[in-house]
Amino acid sequence: MPTPEERRKQHRHRHKQRVLRGISDELWGSFAAAIPADSDRSAEVRQFIEWYVRRPGAELPKRAEAGPDDEIT
């Protein structure tokens, strides 16, 4: 049986958690709905940040195709 300290280490995140402020629930929901089904939001945000800071080999994430209800401006 693991010790209490071992249990705490098992439940810690590998990386420090970051918080994105100023993003409305509506925008976050639209983003979650637009990402590929086999991906996750954290991976998409991380990929964008890596591209934005010009990490070697980083590519801009692919956007979902516009749907009939999407505003195109």
pLDDT tens digits along 10-68:
767 777 777 888 999 999 888 888 887 788 888 889 999 999 999 999 999 888 777 76
Residue 2 falls inside a structural domain: no
Do the Cβ atoms of 27 and 41 come closer than 8 Å? no
Residue 50 falls inside a structural domain: yes
Q: Does the model's pTM come out above 0.75?
A: no
Residue 7 falls inside a structural domain: no
Residue 38 falls inside a structural domain: yes
Q: Which residue segment(s) compose the domain that 39 sits in? A: 16-61
Which of the pair, 3 or 15, is modelled with greater confidence?
3
Residue 70 falls inside a structural domain: no
Residue 72 falls inside a structural domain: no
Q: Which two tokens stand for residue 15?
A: 């990386």
Q: In Å, what is the CA distance from 37 to each residue of 17, 32, 34, 70? A: 23, 9, 9, 18
Count of domains forming the chain: 1
